[in-house]
């Protein structure tokens, strides 16, 4: 298990690879304005259909799965080749919504922890643009305590029978397979009785519903499992050692959320909510570009984003050379969340009432889109929840990177069937 890919033998230098990619992209991929890119709406099936189409083009052209091993459909190259490709594809439409969670989280986890058949079948299908992967982790009663899941997997002959529920599953409606964490032993402490399963989402026994968020989006889903049957080939890792898989999965998620995964292809934002707000444009549109206070607000947000990019590079290289542990990816995840919140807060502070009150004047020069600032504010904290809450991220940093004492856990070492749940 490694945190950076080891390249296979190749006679092609990074520069030659980039030059070949440059030519191929110009001939095969749709051009875009990188400063005003098209955005994918994760809640719409058409966005996923388009992403799959673009992924198939990449695969046919020999530029898909750059850092995944050749035996699983990738190119087996190291991160330098992926970075070179990302630089070249900036002006072209890319299947960006497939990065998270398909490639940077789920496929990366299967690569680390899955069976040979799972790697060969699921990773290669995703790289070909034939399948989408998602996570089935959070539960209605679990909050951020992932080890406290109560979805049940019971042995019945040669089958596993799954009953329970999951929620806040990102884009599960569009996915073909999901990584599902379930409890297989209730007589041991909570971390020891879990098993990870790879679930086909079209299987009988699964009911899925969309969740409508406060901003009107319906990207997230909830799933109900009633007598879902799975075979042993669905187990990822080992039975009752699912926490090891989940820990690795969270490692990849925290790196992916912050933008530090070698498995991400492309550099642009996939939707408007990920684009940095144009603080200077907002200041001009509201006639405040000469205000020192506004200039200071915009400057702080810009500096924060620059530091974030430097942090991603530093952490990625440090994990690779061993000077930082793998959990250091949580630094990226936490800084990303705080940066996003600062940027959105700053945008709303500059926009003022124009960001929350529709004055009905679409013709006002420079004011079109200001209401989007207020809508975006409604989901400003999503980055503080993905991959576990920011509070949990701080615990990981303090305990596993800085070596501070672990936080007291009242249920540590107690069989899960003796732990009090949902009781005052």
pLDDT (mean) for 184-195: 97
Q: Are residues 230 and 287 in the same domain?
A: no
Let me know: does 277 contact 344? Beta carbons within 8 Å.
yes
Least-confidence region, from 10-24, 43-57, 326-340: 326-340
Q: Are residues 230 and 328 in the same domain?
A: no
pLDDT (mean) for 106-125: 98
Taking alpha carbons only, the member of 22, 96, 99 closest to residue 61 is 22
Q: Are residues 359 and 338 in the same domain?
A: yes
Where helices occur in 103-241 by DSSP H, the ranges are 108-113, 116-118, 124-128
Q: What is the pLDDT of residues 125-164, one digit of tens each?
A: 999 999 999 999 999 987 778 899 999 999 999 999 999 9
CA dihedral 353, 355, 361, 363 (to 10 degrees): 130
Q: Are residues 227 and 313 in the same domain?
A: no
d(CA 64, CA 82): 10
Does some domain include residue 23?
yes
Does some domain include residue 142?
yes
Q: What is the pLDDT of residues 225-234, one digit of tens each?
A: 999 999 999 9
Which of the listed residues 192, 226, 242 is the one where a domain comes to its end? 242
Taking alpha carbons only, the member of 45, 151, 174 closest to residue 100 is 174
Q: Are residues 170 and 122 in the same domain?
A: no
Q: Are residues 284 and 390 in the same domain?
A: yes
Cis preceding linkage at 75, omega within 30: no
Task: Print the domain residue range for 45.
Answer: 14-99+106-130
Helix (H) / strand (E) element for 199: namely strand 194-200
Q: Find the CATH number of the domain harbouring 322.
A: 1.20.140
Number of domains in the chain: 3
Q: Are residues 143 and 216 in the same domain?
A: yes
**What pTM was computed for the model?**
0.86
pLDDT for 36: 80
E strand segments, 95-190? 133-136, 152-156, 159-170, 177-183
Confidence of residue 43 (pLDDT cuts 50, 70, 90): very high
Share of the chain above pLDDT 90, in %: 66
Question: What is the chain's mean pLDDT, rounded?
Answer: 89
Q: Are residues 371 and 281 in the same domain?
A: yes
Q: What is the pLDDT of residues 254-276, one digit of tens each?
A: 778 766 788 999 876 666 566 78
CA dihedral 376, 379, 383, 385 (to 10 degrees): 180
Which of the listed residues 181, 216, 242 is the one where a domain comes to its end? 242
Where helices occur in 207-328 by DSSP H, the ranges are 242-258, 279-285, 292-321
Helix (H) / strand (E) element for 208: namely strand 206-210
Least-confidence region, from 65-69, 200-204, 289-293, 384-388: 384-388
């Amino acid at each position: 298990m490694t945190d950076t890919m080891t390249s296979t033998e190749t006679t092609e230098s990074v520069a030659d690879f980039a030059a070949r990619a440059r030519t191929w992209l110009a001939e095969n991929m749709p051009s875009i304005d990188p400063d005003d890119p098209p955005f994918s709406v994760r809640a719409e099936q058409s966005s996923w259909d388009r992403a799959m189409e673009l992924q198939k083009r990449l695969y046919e052209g020999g530029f898909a799965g750059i850092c995944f091993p050749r035996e699983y459909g990738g190119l087996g190259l190291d991160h330098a080749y992926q970075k070179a490709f990302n630089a070249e594809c900036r002006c072209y439409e890319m299947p960006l919504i497939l990065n998270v969670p398909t490639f940077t989280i789920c496929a990366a986890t299967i690569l680390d922890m899955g069976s040979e058949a799972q790697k060969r079948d699921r990773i290669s299908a995703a790289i070909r643009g034939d399948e989408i992967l998602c996570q089935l982790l959070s539960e209605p009663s679990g909050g951020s305590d992932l080890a406290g899941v109560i979805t049940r997997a019971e042995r019945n002959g040669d089958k596993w029978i799954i009953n329970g529920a999951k929620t806040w599953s990102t884009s599960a409606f569009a996915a073909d397979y999901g990584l599902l964490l379930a409890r297989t032993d209730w007589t041991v402490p909570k971390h020891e009785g879990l098993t990870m399963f790879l679930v086909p989402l079209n299987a009988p026994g699964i009911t899925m519903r969309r969740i409508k968020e406060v901003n009107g989006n319906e990207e997230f889903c909830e799933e109900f499992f009633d007598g879902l049957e799975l075979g042993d080939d669905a187990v990822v890792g080992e039975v009752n050692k699912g926490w090891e898989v989940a820990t690795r999965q969270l490692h990849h998620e925290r790196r992916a959320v912050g933008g530090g995964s070698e498995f991400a292809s492309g550099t642009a934002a996939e939707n408007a909510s990920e684009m940095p707000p144009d603080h200077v444009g907002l200041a001009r549109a509201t006639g405040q570009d000469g205000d020192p206070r506004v200039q200071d607000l915009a400057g702080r947000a810009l500096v924060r984003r620059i530091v974030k990019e430097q942090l991603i590079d530093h952490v990625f290289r440090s994990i690779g050379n061993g000077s930082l542990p793998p959990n250091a990816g949580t630094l990226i995840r936490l800084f990303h969340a705080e940066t996003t919140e600062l940027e959105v807060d700053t945008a709303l502070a500059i926009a003022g009432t124009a960001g929350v009150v529709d004055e009905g004047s679409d013709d006002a020069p420079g004011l079109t889109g200001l209401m989007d600032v207020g809508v975006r504010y409604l989901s400003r904290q999503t980055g503080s929840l993905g991959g576990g809450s920011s509070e949990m991220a701080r615990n990981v940093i303090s305990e596993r990177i800085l070596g501070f004492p672990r936080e007291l856990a009242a249920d540590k070492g107690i069989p899960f069937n003796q732990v009090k749940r949902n009781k005052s």
